[in-house]
């Protein structure tokens, strides 16, 4: 056993800033009833290019004019920072064009802005937030967004969609929904599906538009939690996961629990009416904030529309690994089951930190452990960036394999499978890792979800790589 002196500094590393999640959405309608899921969120990541999380929301300004509101997150990880005259900064160019979604060539709005990101004296800053709004006429639009790192000249492009409601329409309607985290006197609009549980409360802001007082509108709001898989991936050598298992399905949209509800009737308010629905931050899991608007058209025929915003609560510092518990949880892939179970039950932070330190220093010197810690948790954060869907990327099957084995030499894709090759011998089953696409039939399913085709011969690979990690060797499969 190695000496523990200095191990607090060993574990308090500053890690890379990484993120990774994507969302798309579906919409459908039936006579007298419409169901809308927000479609304005996107995430783009490519090695060496700016990483961008962006969301465009239909909203209204203080004067009641309809606007498209852009919220963007720029993680610093892939930006090129320069040092000049004791200043540390990066320069980014942001450009955007709004066009009608029907394919028209006319431009409804455009903007260009150079942003200087100065982190002089603030190395704890990991992400820069950017907000912008543009007045628009009612209708459907596409936002062509481009972010260029001026130093590297690398560019990231995204295409977002937004539908601007008509405040003069005879039929009441609901705008998009903003999810805002609040706490310690601060608030932040989130641009992604995965919401770090770093603040005390959540707020959902939206507008209801009404053109007249003669027909009241009922607004029914509810926060729903879905049964979902939030557990780390199972071992590579375990039995295959059956299609009925929640680990295969990911989220069961049919099994739902109402966390809170609230109703509001609009009698006299007309035009855009802003509504703010706040709740204490719930526990980790997958949620839906749903709005049902019941009104009538000019002929007196009742209309009903439902709009929702899905999201998940994840670890407070996601996608980074910073807290002791965030460092302890991914050790599930390296520790014996009983040992991990006993460790993760520890509630006291200092005691948990000591247990994590003992694990890493058990068979390594402090300097070797430092290298392994940085390598391991960098892979955890890389997995969060690359493979997150309805849960943190490190908990997915792809995330687990990536952490243990590293990136493959090359990837083979087809309709139902993704195959990772760790050698150029395609006939060696021990170096060919197969992931099968989960066949989810729900129309609400917005994720790419791949399941490891588990097999007993993977067990020996897994044990060898665990031995590498815990003894200080560089884990390699080939």
Tens of pLDDT, residue by residue over 100-120, are: 988 777 898 899 999 999 988
- Position 383 confidence tier, pLDDT thresholds 50, 70, 90: very high
477 vs 313, residue with greater confidence: 313
Q: What integer pLDDT is reported at residue 124 of this predicted model?
A: 67
Residue 462 is predicted with a pLDDT of 93
Tell which wins on pLDDT, 24 or 118: 118
pLDDT, residue 21, reads 27
Q: Are 220 and 263 in contact (CB under 8 A)?
A: yes
Residue 445 pLDDT > 50, yes or no?
yes
pLDDT of residue 285: 94
**Both tokens of residue 263?**
């109703």
Instruction: Say what the pLDDT of residue 368 is.
Output: 93
Q: Do the beta carbons of residue 111 and residue 146 sit within 8 Å?
A: no
Q: Answer whether 471's CB lies under 8 Å from 335's CB.
A: no
Highest mean pLDDT among 1-15, 96-110, 391-405: 391-405
pLDDT digits over 188-203, tens only? 898 888 999 989 999 9
| 48 bridge partner residues | none
- As a whole number, the mean pLDDT across the chain is 85
Structure tokens at 355: 């247990």
Cα dihedral: 184, 187, 192, 198 (round 10): 0
- Domain spans of the chain, in order of start: 28-216+267-314
Average pLDDT over residues 217-241: 94
pLDDT over 70, % of the chain: 88
Within 10 angstroms of residue 137's Cβ, the number of other Cβ atoms is: 11
Confidence of residue 385 (pLDDT cuts 50, 70, 90): confident
Report pTM. Answer: 0.85
Tens of pLDDT along 78-93? 899 999 988 999 999 9
Q: What is the pLDDT of residues 344-362, one digit of tens each?
A: 999 999 999 999 999 999 9
**Which pairs count as long-range contacts for 61-64, CB under 8 Å and 24+ apart, including other chains?**
61/133, 61/135, 64/167, 64/271, 64/272
pLDDT tens sequence across 126-148: 889 999 999 999 989 999 999 99
Place of tokens 């770093």: 198
Q: Which residues contact 133 (CB under 8 A, 6 or more apart)?
A: 59, 61, 67, 68, 69, 70
Pairing of strands 66-75, 127-135: antiparallel
Q: Is the pLDDT of residue 453 over 60?
A: yes
Whether omega for the bond prior to residue 319 falls within 30 degrees of 0, making it cis, is: yes
Q: How far apart are CA 336 and CA 386, in angstroms?
A: 27
Query: Using CA atoms, how far apart are residues 311 and 289, in angstroms rounded to an integer?
Result: 8
Is residue 35 very low, low, confident or very high in pLDDT (cuts 50, 70, 90)? very low
> Which of 217, 193, 264 has the alpha carbon at shortest distance from 43?
193
Task: Give percent of the chain with pLDDT exceeding 90.
Answer: 57
**41-44, strands of its sheet edge to edge:** 41-44, 52-60, 66-75, 127-135
Residue 229 has pLDDT above 90, yes or no: yes
What pLDDT, on the 0 to 100 scale, is given for residue 299?
Answer: 66
């Amino acid at each position: 056993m190695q000496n523990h002196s200095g191990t607090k500094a060993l574990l308090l590393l500053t890690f890379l800033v990484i993120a990774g999640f994507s969302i798309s959405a579906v919409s459908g309608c039936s006579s007298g009833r419409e169901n809308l899921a927000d479609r304005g969120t996107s995430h783009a990541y490519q090695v060496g290019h700016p990483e961008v999380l962006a969301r465009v929301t239909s909203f209204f300004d203080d004067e009641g004019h309809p606007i498209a509101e852009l919220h963007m997150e720029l993680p610093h990880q892939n930006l090129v920072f320069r040092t000049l005259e004791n200043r540390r900064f990066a320069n980014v160019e942001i450009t955007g064009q709004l066009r009608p979604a029907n394919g028209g060539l006319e431009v409804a709005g455009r903007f260009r802005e150079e942003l200087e990101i100065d982190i002089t004296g603030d190395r704890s800053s990991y992400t820069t937030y950017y907000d912008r709004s543009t007045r628009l006429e009612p209708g459907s639009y596409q936002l062509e967004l481009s972010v260029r790192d001026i130093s590297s000249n690398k560019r990231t492009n995204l295409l977002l969609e937004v539908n601007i409601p008509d405040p003069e329409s005879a039929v009441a309607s609901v705008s998009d929904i903003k999810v805002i985290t609040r706490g310690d006197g601060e608030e932040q609009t989130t641009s992604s599906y995965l919401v770090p549980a770093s603040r005390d409360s959540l707020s959902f802001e939206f507008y209801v538009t009404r053109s007249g007082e003669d027909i009241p509108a009922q607004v029914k709001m509810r926060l729903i939690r879905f049964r979902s898989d939030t557990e780390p991936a199972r071992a590579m050598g375990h039995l295959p996961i059956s299609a009925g298992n929640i680990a295969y399905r990911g989220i069961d949209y049919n099994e739902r629990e109402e966390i809170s509800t609230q109703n509001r009737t609009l009698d006299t308010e007309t035009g855009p009416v802003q509504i703010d629905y706040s709740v204490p931050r719930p526990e980790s899991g997958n949620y839906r904030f749903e709005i049902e608007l019941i009104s009538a058209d000019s002929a007196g025929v009742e209309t009903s529309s439902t709009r929702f915003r899905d999201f998940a609560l994840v670890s407070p510092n996601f996608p980074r690994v910073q807290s002791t518990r965030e460092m302890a949880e991914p050790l599930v892939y390296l520790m014996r089951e009983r040992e991990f179970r006993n460790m993760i039950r520890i509630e006291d932070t200092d005691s948990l930190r000591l247990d994590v330190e003992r694990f890493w220093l058990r068979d390594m010197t402090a300097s070797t452990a430092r290298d392994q810690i940085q390598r391991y948790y960098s892979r955890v954060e890389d997995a969060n960036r690359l493979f997150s869907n309805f849960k943190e990327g490190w908990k997915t099957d792809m995330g687990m394999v990536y952490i243990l084995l590293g990136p493959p030499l090359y990837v083979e894709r087809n309709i139902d499978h993704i195959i990772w090759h760790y050698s150029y011998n395609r006939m060696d089953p021990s170096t060919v890792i197969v992931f099968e696409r989960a066949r989810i039939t729900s129309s609400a399913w917005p994720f790419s979800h791949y399941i490891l085709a588990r097999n007993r011969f993977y067990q020996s690979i897994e044990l060898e790589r665990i031995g590498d990690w815990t003894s200080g060797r560089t884990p390699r499969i080939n």
